[in-house]
Amino acid sequence: MFFRKNSKTFNLEEVLDGCLHGKPSAQKRLYEQYYSFAKGICLRYAANPEEAEEMVNDGFLKVLSKLHYYDHTQVFDAWFRTLMVRTSIDYFRRNHAKLLVIDIQEAHEVKYDDELLEKLSADEILELVQKLPPAYRAVFSLYIVEGYSHAEISELLGINEGTSRSNLAKARLKMQEWIKQLCSEKIVQVNHARRAV
């Protein structure tokens, strides 16, 4: 995968074997290789980078401790991704379960154009996702990015399917509202900059 570091010299089987035998050098190589991938996943469930870092560490610990369960006939990346998502959800449930009840207030349907979304960078979109309340953020990421169904989400988060659907809808509306708002602000800023020039 493109995010990997030193992919040419990285021998996954060898590294996994080393990790199974508890070799620190192999553990480090795996960490180096999959850190960016893991952090990218965790950032979507975390409220900030520090929280994402904790999720990453928890996820890697889980990977190393459950490596002997990994079926070598399957794709490692998929197994790794699933484990990371599960770890993020566990973290979310542990720390933000009480926030499940918090609702999005005043989610209005706005006139939205997808062209606006393309004007924003990935980091800006991520910041908006992180602004969502935890329960909405989790449903939003699980459904849209990971591709889980509402049934699976309801099981993972311990909520009703209806709640999951509702949360997703509200989160989507909120995101569209913020995207439009952000784009407007950017346009204003650009106009100001032009006038200044």
Partner 1 sequence: MPDERFNNLIKKKLESVQPPYKEEAWKNFNKLLPAPWYVNVFHQYRNWIYGGIGGVVVTVISILYFQQNQENQQLHETIATLKKEVTEQYNKQKPAADKESVIIADSIRKNAETNQIQTPTAGTVFHVNKETANPVKNSNNQDIEQEKQNQSLKIPTPEKNISATTVNRSAENKRKASSFGRDEAGKQKPSGNIASINRNKTVSDNVDLNQVDSVLTDNNSRNKTLPDLTKTERANSVIKTDSAKQKQSQNLALARQDTTSAGNNMTPDSASVNNSKELPKAERKLQFSGLQARVGVNLNLGGLNKLAFGPNIELLIGQHWSIGAGLNISRPEEERHHDTHAFNLAKGKRFEDMYHVWLRPDDKIEEIDLKTTVLQLPLSVNYYLPIKGKFSLLFTGGTTLDLTVNQQVNFERTPPGGGAERYKFNADPHTYTINNVLYGMGIQYQNKRVVGQITPYYIYQFVNPEYYNPASKIGVNASLKFNLRRAGN
Give the interface with partner 1 as residue ranges (CB under 8 A).
3, 5, 22, 24, 27-28, 31-32, 35-37, 39-40, 43-44, 49-51, 53-54, 56-57, 60-61, 64, 94-95, 97-98, 101, 112, 114, 117-118, 120-123, 125-126, 129, 141, 144-145, 172, 175-176
Shortest CB 122 distance to partner 1, Å: 5
Looking at the Cβ atoms of 22 and 68, the one nearer to partner 1 is 22
CA distances from 70 to 66, 79, 160, 165, 173 (A): 7, 7, 31, 32, 39
Shortest CB 65 distance to partner 1, Å: 8
* CA–CA gap between residue 34 and residue 62 (Å, rounded): 14
Q: Which residues contact 129 (CB under 8 A, 6 or more apart)?
A: 44, 137, 140, 141, 175
Looking at the Cβ atoms of 71 and 109, the one nearer to partner 1 is 109
Looking at the Cβ atoms of 27 and 166, the one nearer to partner 1 is 27
Sign of the Cα pseudo-torsion (39, 43, 44, 46, in order): positive
Looking at the Cβ atoms of 98 and 194, the one nearer to partner 1 is 98
Shortest CB 192 distance to partner 1, Å: 26
Shortest CB 187 distance to partner 1, Å: 19
Reading the block at residue 133, the tokens are 């309340």
Cβ–Cβ under 8 Å, residues 64 and 38: no
* CA–CA gap between residue 164 and residue 27 (Å, rounded): 37
DSSP string, 124-144: HHHHHHHHS-HHHHHHHIIII
Looking at the Cβ atoms of 13 and 115, the one nearer to partner 1 is 115
Shortest CB 18 distance to partner 1, Å: 13
